[in-house]
Amino acid sequence: MPAPHNLGRLEPVDVRKVWPSESAEFTPWLALPENILLLGETIGMELEVAAQEADVGQFRADILCRETATGAWVLVENQLAKTDHVHLGQLLTYAAGLDAVTIVWVASRFTGEHRAALDWLNEITAEKFQFFGLEVEAWRIGSSPPAPKFNVVSKPNDWTRDVRETVDPGHTETGKLQLEFWRGFKAYADQNAKRFRAIKPLAQAWMTIAIGRTGFNLSGVVSTWSPTKESYGEGELRATLYIDHRSAGEAFAKLREEKDAIQAEVGEDLHWYEVEGVKARKIFARRSITLANCQEWPESFKWLTEKLDRLHAAFQSRVKALVLGEGMEEGTRPPADPKA
């Protein structure tokens, strides 16, 4: 087959010609949903803007976001210039002011020393802190409108932190099994999931998955606790819609009005779980599993991936369309105790 002709050539565009003002043009542009989505895809997170020019200590951060899967803070600091020590100092102040946070430093060019500083911070800080360095570029073909592009120049060293998870003597035997289970599940889901992205495996009962709105997420759960039996046993596997919103009860009730349609789309009856006095609500499919029997895991990976895909398809648009009456949304990581 002959090579195609008349191909265009990518040409770089000075970012200052696209966004002459960092504060008046670039930051408002980046805060738009379609553009924060692009940044989130670059670092592997689904983000929702909570505020622009937000106060953090004595400084004002450019954009403050929530990661929709976990509710954790993600702070974006912009610099349409070469990186400098002033912005590095501000980033450290932001990290100190927020309990669990991802810091994203966006600049037009990173110096070697500032890239090395972020790499060092990722090595020495606790797991709950993550530092990303992104260079922003603009490109065009011929007379086309310029297109933005983010390039990752520094990110958390997941391999190093995975090693820490493995050798941590504080993990229980169940925790070690769960860590290995989630590693296998992520490898399977990365190849087979149609609608979701698995996150970094941890030594815990759950893996949280974004569904597009803070206060709502999908969770895969592998636990020895059964909420339906109210007891511990060999174990069970759950694909769950987890609701931890200020209006969780209202959201749960509205979704339950569509119970028959939702269950038809998922292809089975679901457990609609609420406990008096507990804010969070869960809607889930379950199956038994013997966690210690690794031969069961491949079939469990397949089942969990398919169920999470179906829950994502059934709930995503419904969750985004919910109109709730108790003000600002909130979301948190599902509790460490799987009984909660």
Tens-place pLDDT, residues 310-320: 999 999 999 99
- CA separation for the pair 1, 4 (Å, rounded): 9
Side-by-side strand order, sheet with 281-288: 206-210, 216-226, 231-243, 281-288, 271-273
What is the structure's pLDDT at 129? Answer: 86
Higher model confidence: residue 44 or residue 172? 44
Query: Over 50: is that where the pLDDT of 340 sits?
Result: no
Lowest average pLDDT, out of 73-82, 94-103, 182-191, goes to 94-103
In the chain, the percentage of residues whose pLDDT exceeds 70 is 85
CA distances from 214 to 209, 266, 309, 332 (A): 11, 22, 19, 8
Domain count, the chain: 2
What is the structure's pLDDT at 240? Answer: 95
Residue 78 belongs to a domain: yes
User: Structural domain of residue 123, as residue ranges?
Assistant: 10-160
CA distances from 63 to 22, 78, 105, 195, 258 (A): 12, 8, 11, 27, 36
Q: Are residues 15 and 150 in the same domain?
A: yes
Residue that finishes a domain, picked among 133, 160, 187: 160
Q: Is 118 helix (H, G, I), strand (E, B) or coil?
A: helix
Q: Are residues 123 and 171 in the same domain?
A: no
Residue 137 belongs to a domain: yes
- CA separation for the pair 82, 84 (Å, rounded): 7
- What is the average per-residue pLDDT within 233-255? 89
Q: Are residues 260 and 292 in the same domain?
A: yes
Residue that finishes a domain, picked among 99, 130, 160: 160
Q: Are residues 196 and 132 in the same domain?
A: no
Question: To which H or E segment does residue 178 belong?
Answer: helix 173-192
pTM: 0.62
Query: Over 70: is that where the pLDDT of 46 sits?
Result: yes
Residue that finishes a domain, picked among 134, 160, 186: 160
Q: Are residues 130 and 214 in the same domain?
A: no
What is the structure's pLDDT at 231? Answer: 56
Written as one letter, the residue type at 282 is K
Query: Over 70: is that where the pLDDT of 156 sits?
Result: yes
Residue 182 belongs to a domain: yes
Residue 34 belongs to a domain: yes
Q: Are residues 86 and 215 in the same domain?
A: no
Alpha carbon dihedral 97, 103, 109, 113, in 10-degree steps, equals: 70
Query: Over 60: is that where the pLDDT of 107 sits?
Result: yes
